[in-house]
Amino acid sequence: MGCFGRTCSGMPEALPATGTELSDVQIAIWSNQAVVVQSLIAKRLETAKQLRSPFVDPLPTTEPELTLETPRRISVSLQRATDAARQLLDKPFVIVPLFQFHKPAQVAELSLAGAGPGIARASQVQDWMDSLSRVRPAVADAAWAIAVSSCMGAPIAEPIAIQLPRNAKAPWIGGKFTTPLPEGGWLAVISLQSALGFNGLQCGLVLDDWTENVPIDKATTGVSFHFNRLNAIAPQALLLAVPPAIRGHWDWEELKGCVHEAFDLAKLRAIEPDSLTTNGYFVGLPAILSEFSVNQFAHTLLTERSAAAAVLIKT
Amino acid sequence: MAAAEFRSENIYAFALEPRKTVPLFRGWNRLECRPRIPDFERSLKAEVRDPLWFLTRQWQYGEFQGEDAASPIDISLGVRSAPLATLRIGSTDVAYDPSTPLETRVEREAVPFDMTLIMQGSRVFALALGPAPFDKLLPKVISHFALTSIPGEATADATRLRLAGAAFLLDIAALVTSIRSATFGTVVDEITKIAAEVTALGAAADALIDWHGRVYGLPRTEPSAWQTNRLSYQFECATAPGPDVVSLIANQYGGGKLDWYNFDAKPPAPAAGPAFDAATLSFLPAGIEFAGMPSIRYWEMENGRTEFAHIDANTNDAAKLLLAEFMLLFSNDWCVVPLNLNIGDFSRVDGLLVTDVFDDQTWVRSANRGAGADWHHWSMFLLSGDDSESPGLFLAPATTATIEAPPLEEVAFIRDEMANMVWAIEKRVASDLGQGVPLASADSNAAAAPSQAPQTRYLLGTSVPDYWRPFLPVHTPGSLRSIRLQRARLPGPLNEPKAEILRENNPYFIEEEEIPRAGRLVERAFQRSRWQDGEPFLWIGRNSQVGRGEGSSGLVCDHILEKGERNID
């Protein structure tokens, strides 16, 4: 019955709901169900058709609008195509993109089979999968699928391993190293190969991925100890001493004087405004205080000019 | 007041007209700098406008203060190391094998011949037997080693897969036993007399045994390190006999990650033999660095994610305050030297000879100088019981990253205060497919379903599911006070536990303190890891951890149910 076929295409409603025997009543029920299913299909087709409608606006002819618009349309078209397929075949439907290797010969070289017998035997890849299938359920499912597929009349080819980056001297990273493993990160891809090999159009699903760490045989530890070091730190400024009179040689007292003077000048910079309020200088120092009063001269800034004004007022 | 009135002509006009006197009440505000834009980028650049300002700040912070101290310039370090030599599990001494991770060696259990192993082994045997003409031998081998019973909880998936793979699935358990016990030759004689076929079958048998050893490890020869009464592993390892010999005991290793803190040191009586390998190493000292460490440079910015200045400490948090002070004030007095050690070695640092810039030498010894130290000390990486004046450091030969499968078995030990007993609940058991499957309703801690009693009635006792195993308190021999827990069973037909964790010979005791109030959860799972030479190791290990709280079985006996009372709360 045609309805059975529809159930595999994301339409569980098409599955005959009742009846195990052929009778006129049952045929009438199924016929009605087929009509309903037919209308559902027509509705879905209509929605999908709307989604697949082409762009009506013409493409821009000038740059950079053209460069921006083209990938946007591709992206939108892809999304609409996915939506249309999901309308027809139900929501879990996934589009698996097809791709093509630019240089299939190079990819074939990356596989361990292409790298020659020095790196890994097929049994090592098999051991790897056998071992991993006990800790990674997805790998176990793949292993069962491979094992049972030949009995079901649709054998899946034996898995092949691809190791990146390509290094002819590197050992197979999935097993015991026959030669020291160069430092760095490595990627091994187990591919359940199709009959086409690496030529032609390809597509694939990632079944599982995981990280394996190989421990090192040495560790860098640290011994820390307390030793009372100086807290003094070298000056963070360079003192360029110039003698007051050029005599062709330095005088020790002059050098000491330069250093002392530099530090006296430095210490002067440490004077806080609070220190100034204790003596009489602060009223005369510029940009330290601001005067305010209730008259029209309020908030006169006590700069040199305003100080002069203040003197004028007093006189 | 309009700004125009501040113009100088106004001031002069006011000054030249003295009759317009205004009472003058003057005050003074100190001018303070205030940023007028929210952008601090330029300020943080610390552009040098006045180099003397740097000196000022350094002087203010006391960075020019002279001290009677010196900077270290050279460090000589004396270190002694030795690898592990022996491993003791139970009362059996075995040689330590550095080519196997320690936890693999300790934890490894026999892997059951479940459907997954049977499928893998059958494929290996079939592939080793090869294509035609020897493939015709496979049905004959299957007829001798037909698949019968498979260990584990029966699942529909396994039944389906068994049907699907009937053409190649063998009883690998029987086949491996037959090959190992050298009875396979008899079977081969019954199958064929042709020399080439006999050779092919022999080669396939060898390939199967090799594969089993490579993937699942060789059969365990030493006793199990799992202490059934402690629900943890116990083992001991030691360096080679000699004057420096050290014994390391792991008493309460619950599975999971094995590291230095699982071990206690016990210096056994020195015996004749070589001393540890001693070496003197010379280093240039380097100051320690840690996140949030105050930077000594004016223009260096500390990492804002760790700020010890913002520690939220009360006045009674003395330890926290001391730590903050140590970090902020004395961090520059600590130096560090690198020390490369072999994984699996036990090492002792005898001390450091520090030479400073004035050529003075100082012998720096460990702060933890054994039991003789007159203060209570604590130190990271220090093993309990290591009372040597030169404290040791043990780099456990354990794996760094282990892939752990979903648990095969999960048994929860819970305290049931109402029933005054401990229950072991088999939450998950191994299936015949080699995966963990939950037992029905095992996730619920409340076992029996309550029912509405229509009227007052007498209840002889409630029942609990058969996967709840009771443990009753019994006296410890020779003591009237201390108790331990003994496995019991509820009235009814004998029902053996399905979880390997509970399949112990009678009587099965668990020490009372091992089941805390929060209970204990013991899991059994496949684990896989790589070792230093890349070799993968796959084993079944256990993991014991604190549980998730108390539970109630609802078990009551000899009870009168009032009308309307629910029989179990």
Cβ distance A235 to B58 less than 8 Å, yes or no, reads: yes
Per residue in B401-424, pLDDT tens?
899 999 999 999 999 887 788 999
Weakest-pLDDT range from A44-58, A93-107, B74-88, B105-119: A93-107
A-chain CB neighbours of B526 within 8 Å are: 134-135
Cβ distance A148 to B164 less than 8 Å, yes or no, reads: yes
Cβ distance A128 to B354 less than 8 Å, yes or no, reads: no
When CB atoms are compared, the residue of A171, A262, A277 closest to B52 is: A262
Residue B139 forms contact with A (CB below 8 Å): no
Q: Does the pLDDT of residue B240 top 60, yes or no?
A: yes
Per residue in B524-541, pLDDT tens?
999 999 999 989 999 999
Contact A34, A3 (CB under 8 A): yes
Question: What is the model's pLDDT at position B461?
Answer: 73
B-chain CB neighbours of A269 within 8 Å are: 50, 52-53, 56
Q: Locate the chain A residue with the closest alpha carbon to B30.
A: A289
Instruction: Name which of B340, B365, B524, B538 to mutate to probe chain A: the one with the most chain A Cβ atoms within 10 A of its Cβ.
Output: B538
Mean pLDDT, contiguous 10-residue spans, chain A (315 residues): 59 69 80 86 87 83 86 87 85 81 75 50 82 93 87 80 77 84 78 69 85 90 88 86 85 91 91 74 69 57 44 39
The average pLDDT across B453-459 equals 68
Q: Does the pLDDT of residue B8 top 90, yes or no?
A: no
Question: What is the model's pLDDT at position A311?
Answer: 43
Cβ distance A287 to B535 less than 8 Å, yes or no, reads: no
Cα-based distances in Å from B346 to A220, B81, B196, B263, B385:
14, 6, 55, 12, 14
Q: How far apart are CA B179 and CA B314, in angstroms?
A: 72
This prediction has a pTM of: 0.75
Residue B358 forms contact with A (CB below 8 Å): no
Diameter over CA atoms, chain B: 143
Helix, strand, or coil here: B234? strand
Instruction: State the smallest CA–CA distance between residue B482 and chain A in angstroms.
Output: 42
Residue A223 forms contact with B (CB below 8 Å): yes
When CB atoms are compared, the residue of A171, A227, A292 closest to B333 is: A227
When CB atoms are compared, the residue of B15, B337, B404 closest to A222 is: B337
B-chain CB neighbours of A298 within 8 Å are: 1
Question: What is the model's pLDDT at position B82?
Answer: 93
Q: How far apart are CA B1 and CA B23, in angstroms?
A: 18
B-chain CB neighbours of A291 within 8 Å are: 26-29
Question: What is the model's pLDDT at position B454?
Answer: 58
Cα-based distances in Å from B393 to A311, B246, B259, B521:
80, 11, 11, 31
Instruction: State the smallest CA–CA distance between residue A137 and chain B in angstroms.
Output: 8
When CB atoms are compared, the residue of B342, B354, B393 closest to A227 is: B354
**Residue for token pair 């440490």:** A270
Instruction: Name which of B5, B381, B403 to mutate to probe chain A: the one with the most chain A Cβ atoms within 10 A of its Cβ.
Output: B403
Per residue in B436-450, pLDDT tens?
999 865 444 444 444
The average pLDDT across B161-188 equals 90
Q: Does the pLDDT of residue B206 top 90, yes or no?
A: yes
Cβ distance A215 to B434 less than 8 Å, yes or no, reads: no
When CB atoms are compared, the residue of A215, A232, A309 closest to B531 is: A215
Instruction: Name which of A133, A211, A223, A271 to mutate to probe chain B: the one with the most chain B Cβ atoms within 10 A of its Cβ.
Output: A223
Question: What is the model's pLDDT at position B384?
Answer: 83
B-chain CB neighbours of A135 within 8 Å are: 403-405, 526-528, 538
Question: What is the model's pLDDT at position A306?
Answer: 45
Per residue in B280-324, pLDDT tens?
999 998 888 888 888 776 667 777 677 777 778 888 888 888 888
Residue B21 forms contact with A (CB below 8 Å): no
- Taking only residues 109 to 128 of chain B, the set having a beta carbon closer than 8 angstroms to any beta carbon of chain A reads 116, 119-120, 122-124, 127
Residue A250 forms contact with B (CB below 8 Å): no
Q: Locate the chain B residue with the closest alpha carbon to A221.
A: B339
Question: What is the model's pLDDT at position B342?
Answer: 93
Residue A298 forms contact with B (CB below 8 Å): yes
Instruction: State the smallest CA–CA distance between residue B548 and chain A in angstroms.
Output: 25
Q: What is the CA radius of gyration of chain B?
A: 37
A-chain CB neighbours of B2 within 8 Å are: none
Residue A222 forms contact with B (CB below 8 Å): yes
Instruction: State the smallest CA–CA distance between residue B523 and chain A in angstroms.
Output: 14
Instruction: State the smallest CA–CA distance between residue B527 and chain A in angstroms.
Output: 7
Q: Locate the chain A residue with the closest alpha carbon to B405.
A: A135
The average pLDDT across B248-277 equals 87
A-chain CB neighbours of B530 within 8 Å are: 212-215
Q: How far apart are CA B161 and CA A140, in angstroms?
A: 13
* Average pLDDT across chain B, whole number: 84
Q: How far apart are CA B323 and CA B313, in angstroms?
A: 11
Residue A215 forms contact with B (CB below 8 Å): yes
Question: What is the model's pLDDT at position B431?
Answer: 93
The angle formed by the CA atoms of residues B255, B260 and B261, to the nearest 5 degrees, is 70
Question: What is the model's pLDDT at position A106?
Answer: 74
Question: What is the model's pLDDT at position B15?
Answer: 54
The backbone torsions φ and ψ at residue B524, rounded to the nearest 5 degrees and listed phi first, read -130, 125
Residue B40 forms contact with A (CB below 8 Å): no
Question: What is the model's pLDDT at position B377?
Answer: 65
Domain boundaries, chain B: 68-108+232-284+340-398, 115-216, 403-567
